[in-house]
Structure 1
Amino acid sequence: MVETKRLEQHQAPLYKESELETLVLVRDEEVAAMLEKQILLDNSAKQSATECYLVGDFANEDDAKKLSKVLSRYVWDVPVIASEVLRDFWVVYSSNGDWNQSVRNMETLRAKGVNDLWLVPSGSSKGVISLGLFATADGAEKRLKALSEKSIEAELIRRKKYRYGVKLIRSDGLSPIPDNLDGFKVGENISIRKIAC
């Protein structure tokens, strides 16, 4: 008996009869009208397609945020985005946070024949002695090797530089955005370029 019930369960239909669509024959003229209507719908969807733009090219994130605030009057969502544009390699003699010690370290380096150096006077790197900034890792490695031959234990810091812009997502073109950029001055021209969404 148990086996018979299992067979009955597997033979049950995989659909509900009330949910099946009814197939209806359609005349050629009706098919042509439906296709024409679909083409019109597709064209209107293409016209209202979303396009994305990057406005501004700022070295400073705060400038991009100012622009974002200005553009938020015209566009609801104007995020600031960062793009990495450059890496550089900084050879340094580190600091322990004591300015007087950094000055003594500088004198020691000069006594060992290192004259191409600079003591960072302020900021987060205050007291660090810069021994060179290089565009490639190879240049920095050569400098480290030359310093090592003079018994100087320098460090290599890999840095990234970013540029900032404001992303605009629009389906109705850019107007009135460009007209309102003229009054926004941050020391450089503001560019607008189309980007992938």
Structure 2
Amino acid sequence: MKRLLLLLVFLNVVYFFWGTTVVETKRLEQQQAPLYKESELETLVLVGDEEVAAMLEKQVLLESKAKQPISECYVAGDFADEGEAKKLSQTLSNHLSTVSVMPSKVLEEFWVVYPSRSDGERPLHNVETLKAIGVDDLWLVPSGPNKGIISLGLFATADSAEKRLKALSEKSIEAELIRRKKYRYGVKFITSDGLSPILDNLDGFKVGENISIRKIAC
């Protein structure tokens, strides 16, 4: 019995030391295990001097582009007179490099006229004849390519012009209809400094009252 007891004690001591050794071994293995998966590591490749220089140059270009100010496009207007648009264009050209006059709108207008069929005193005679019939809303063109024509009304729509023609026809007046295009002009400019410097230099132009400025796509 005594031998059996000593054998059990010996076996317990051996088991204790064996368990302690196994736990310590596992702990050391865990500490020494890498903190990454080998399959997920990037492969390092040696790069030549020329490739390094090219990559650096590309990086510098990207950084310079990121620092460049953004250009914005605007149109100031609109003007019924192209000459007024050119005046503004000249003023803006003193502060900006890219300025141009452009048609901002193209409208159609309808002109009812009594044509001039002869020279001399005939147009004046026609004016007196029309007034005698009861047409007082008229104007004799004194000069230019339409000299001698009697204007009987300028209309924004064809329907309004046709009504005028019909009313004149009922008075036996053989008027004619002239369709013509009417342009509105704007001044396009490009800036990278915003509108404040531009507005500060528009002496003589009442922006917001006579001139509107709107942003457009470049």
Question: Is this a same-fold pair by TM over 0.5?
Answer: yes
- Partner residue, 1:6: none
Unaligned runs of 5+ in 2: 1-40, 45-54
SS at match of 1:126: coil
Aligned residue among 197, 200, 204 for 1:184: 204
1:127 matches 2:142? no
Per-residue deviation, 1:89: 1.4
What is the aligned-residue identity percentage? Answer: 68
Q: Kindly tell me: are residues 147 and 195 of structure 1, through their superposed partners in 2, closer, same or farther at Cα, counting changes over 3 Å?
A: same
**Contact between 1:99 and 1:127, CA under 8 Å: does it hold in 2?**
no
Structure with greater proportional helix content? 2
Which structure 1 residue ranges, 5 or more long, are not aligned? Answer: 1-25
Matched residue of 2:85: which SS? Answer: helix
Counterpart CA distance in 1 for 2:43 and 2:216 is 43
- The 8 Å contact of residues 85 and 163 in structure 1, kept in 2 or not, is answered as yes
Q: CA RMSD in A?
A: 3.5
Counterpart check, 1:150 vs 2:171:
yes
Are the counterparts in 2 of residues 50 and 170 from structure 1 also a CA contact under 8 Å? Answer: yes
Q: Which moved more, 1:137-146 or 1:79-88?
A: 79-88
1:5-84 matched pairs, under 5 angstroms: 27=42, 41=62, 44=65, 48-84=69-105
> Would you say the 8 A contact 1:67–1:184 is kept in 2?
no
Q: SS of the counterpart of 2:111? A: strand
Query: Which of these two proteins has the greater Rg computed from alpha carbons?
Result: 2
Instruction: After superposing the two structures, state which structure 1 stretch, 65-74 or 96-105, moved more.
Output: 96-105
Separation of aligned partners in 1, 2:196 and 2:120: 54
CA distance change for structure 1 residues 131 and 50 in 2, over 3 Å: closer, same or farther?
same
Checking the alignment, whether the CA contact within 8 Å between 1:85 and 1:161 is kept in structure 2 is: yes
Q: Distance in 2 between matches of 1:27 and 1:153?
A: 91
